[in-house]
Amino acid sequence: MDASTPYFTEEQDMLRDSLRRFIEQEVVPHAAAWEDEGMVPREILRKMGAQGFLGIRAAEEHGGSAMNTLGSVILAEELGRSGFGGFAVTVLVHTDMASPHLRHAGTPEQLARLMPALVSGEKISAVAMTESDAGSDLASMRTTARRDGDHYVLNGSKMFITNGVHGDVYFVAAKTGEPGRNHNISMFILEKGMPGFGVARPLKKQGWLSSDTAELVFEDCRVPVANLLGQENRGFYALVKNLQNERTVLGAQAMGEASKALEITIEYVKQRKAFGTSLWNKQAIRHRLSMLSARVESARQFVYGTAWRDSQGQSLTKEVSMIKALCGELVNEVMYDCLQFHGGSGYIRESAIERMARDARIQSIGGGATEVMLDEIAKRL
């Protein structure tokens, strides 16, 4: 599908071309092995950093390109097109879900110390806000941070943290107000090796096999006051602010995945023979694929338009909630039918469509479940 639209600059079109070449040459031939290993090698992330792909939104003074939201959408869509969701989310959590907290709220000292290494891929980041009993409901989180002189003492745990095992820098949310349901949340910068901070266990998942996911624990973890990120008790608003970017990016990733699945399936059904002719010559199949292609293209243009509006500084809570709900459901619908049209071969682990269908399932859950998104939309109708 032709991705060019009036929204993108020549520089952004060049970014898309270079990303697609890099993924085809450096990622696709090796990514199946990363699925077996359960992680994306640091070497490939450093290569991405050297190409500028990890610093698309970072300031030029820190080695970045200082692009707007559309740059993130290009990155997410091309990562989705790779067909390896675990690789895609490893990168996107680092570039668009974790490190933005430092970019938005970091002090000059914090930025100078950490951002160049995050842009280069020397350090990989994670964001830790989800808990076993607190996902979309941030106010219910139980991890606490108590001020004690020149430190905060963190206690609690975080669940389902991408890059949790192999990350270096963690942006952690904790309650700093009175116990109970409140929004007095603060953000902290934790680094691997801090006493009292560790990985409880890696988690095995249905899909996204090459992304490491972990449960994190904090046991009287002493964090210097200098590692407070932004203002105390204002972390809830920082988390909500970045969700606008995060959900737009997840929508772009999902549409990249859906587009690639349709390309693979259309090629397959044109070659696959049944009852004396190709599956493509079966009207029901080609009509279904045509309609899915139209819906994916419509959703993708919605993502592009919303990303452009976001780059103009507009507040778009309703629209990004629509993107997350729409694209998360649509990619799963696409994968279901694409696997169906592959027949038995689509159910075999060696099949790309089998892996992509497993990877897509989380798109209607992670980053805000569809049901939560629909309530966010309903509040604004």
Query: Residue 241's pLDDT band (boundaries 50, 70, 90)?
Result: confident
* Cα–Cα dist 317/323, whole Å: 10
pLDDT greater than 50 at residue 2: no
Look up 246 and say whether it is catalytic.
yes
Q: One of 77, 78, 131, 246 is an active-site residue; which one?
A: 246
Give the pLDDT mean for 217-239: 93
Mean pLDDT is highest, among 137-146, 147-156, 228-237, for 147-156
Q: Can you give the length of the chain in residues?
A: 381
Give the pLDDT mean for 162-184: 86
CATH 1.20.1250.20 fits 126-233, yes or no: no
- One of 3.30.413.10, 3.60.21.10, 1.10.760.10, 1.10.540.10 is the CATH number of 10-123, namely 1.10.540.10
> What digits encode the pLDDT tens for the residues 142-167?
999 999 999 999 999 999 999 999 99
Give the pLDDT mean for 220-232: 96
Give the pLDDT mean for 272-299: 96
pLDDT value for 371: 97
pLDDT value for 138: 72
Sequence spans of domains, the chain: 10-123, 126-233, 236-379
Please tell me the CATH code under which domain 236-379 is placed: 1.20.140.10
* Mean pLDDT estimate for the chain: 94
pLDDT value for 1: 40
Task: Decide if 126-233 and 236-379 have a common fold.
Answer: no
pLDDT greater than 90 at residue 236: no
- Residue whose entry in the numeric block shows the structure tokens 């080609």: 286
